[in-house]
Amino acid sequence: MAEAEVSILIPNYKTPEMTRLCLRLLRRHTDLGRVKVIVIDNASNDESLDYLRNVNWIRLIERPEAAAEKGPEMHARALDLALQEVTTPYVLVMHTDTLICDDRWLDFLFGKISGDETVAGVGSWKLEQVSAFKQFGKKVEDFFRRLLGKKAKVEDRYLRSHCALYRTELVRKHTNGFFDGDTAGHSLHRMLVQQGYKMLFLESRELGNYLRHLNHATMILNPQPGDRKTSKPAARRRLQRQLDELDYRNVLADSSLDRI
């Protein structure tokens, strides 16, 4: 049997329906012989943890609750805990609201990193697709800033943990892991660049052919009163449409995807 190529690290915290959808789509579109999947539960103590305990093709790490830990720190420390167990040449980190939609997704990512040993990581800054109207608005804003003698706003971009693939050896050799007081992956990205390695950003539209990052989709699957992010009908319709494209109802109903 061939050795796994990549370890996929997925932190979980109290998103039962989203976690179920994420893992079942991952299973549906991935050859499990190529991957090791490690899910790190951050003391959810809810039905998402009950669900994870019954998925027999993942390695589940139950991380105990840590006092005074905020969400970003919890997420990054969970990744570092799982990183200790990684034995594959590549490691991929993703969120539970990152949803795989094409069988070729791994080949696509490997094709971007494997041909050039100076590339230490591939992924994206933002996975949400920005409308042409918003892109035009950003260009207009930058134009007027230059006209007024101001510099265009420059984002401090790094490969975000909603989906990023790294060379494991380089992460271990040249970085402090995913948490050293910063957002997950931020300082890691900077350290690898300082060592002369390339970090390849993929366009959201291109990456979106293979996976979707449905930020706030939990609010559709588990609506909360007064949620500002999806309170506008247009936002809810957009998320609902994307979930429908992923055949989410049938995926959520197919418990056979939890076991091999």
The dihedral over CA atoms of 170, 171, 176, 181, expressed in degrees to the nearest 10, equals: 140
Sign of the torsion formed by the C-alpha atoms of 209, 211, 214 and 220? positive
CB 199 within 8 A of CB 193: yes
Distance CA 255, CA 177 (A): 34
Mean pLDDT of the chain: 87
Beta-strand pair 6-12/35-42: parallel
pLDDT score of 135 more than 90: no
Contacts of 216 (CB under 8 A, 6+ apart): 97, 227, 229, 230, 235, 239
Per DSSP, what are the bridge partners of residue 6? 35, 90
Domains of the chain, first to last: 6-125+158-258 (3.90.550.10)
pLDDT value at residue 138? 44
User: Residue 6: what are its φ and ψ, rounded to 5°?
Assistant: -145, 140
Distance CA 204, CA 63 (A): 32
State percent of the chain over pLDDT 90.
70
Q: Is 69 helix (H, G, I), strand (E, B) or coil?
A: coil
For 47-58, how does the pLDDT look when each residue is reduced to its tens digit (9 = 90+)?
999 999 999 999
CB 159 within 8 A of CB 189: yes
CB 260 within 8 A of CB 250: no
pLDDT score of 172 more than 80: yes
For 178, the token pair is: 């995913």
Q: Which helix (H) or strand (E) holds 11?
A: strand 6-12
For 84-134, how does the pLDDT look when each residue is reduced to its tens digit (9 = 90+)?
999 999 999 999 999 999 999 999 999 999 989 999 999 999 765 444 444
For 194-207, how does the pLDDT look when each residue is reduced to its tens digit (9 = 90+)?
999 999 999 999 99
For 23-37, how does the pLDDT look when each residue is reduced to its tens digit (9 = 90+)?
999 999 999 999 999
251-259: average pLDDT: 97
Beta-strand pair 90-94/6-12: parallel
Residue 38 gets the label, from left (phi > 0), alpha (psi -120 to 50) or beta, of beta
User: Residue 29: what are its φ and ψ, rounded to 5°?
Assistant: -110, 15
Taking Cα atoms as reference points, which of 130, 152, 155 lies closest to residue 141? 152
Longest pairwise C-alpha distance within the chain: 63
- Residue 144 pLDDT class (50, 70, 90 cuts): low
Q: Is 60 helix (H, G, I), strand (E, B) or coil?
A: strand
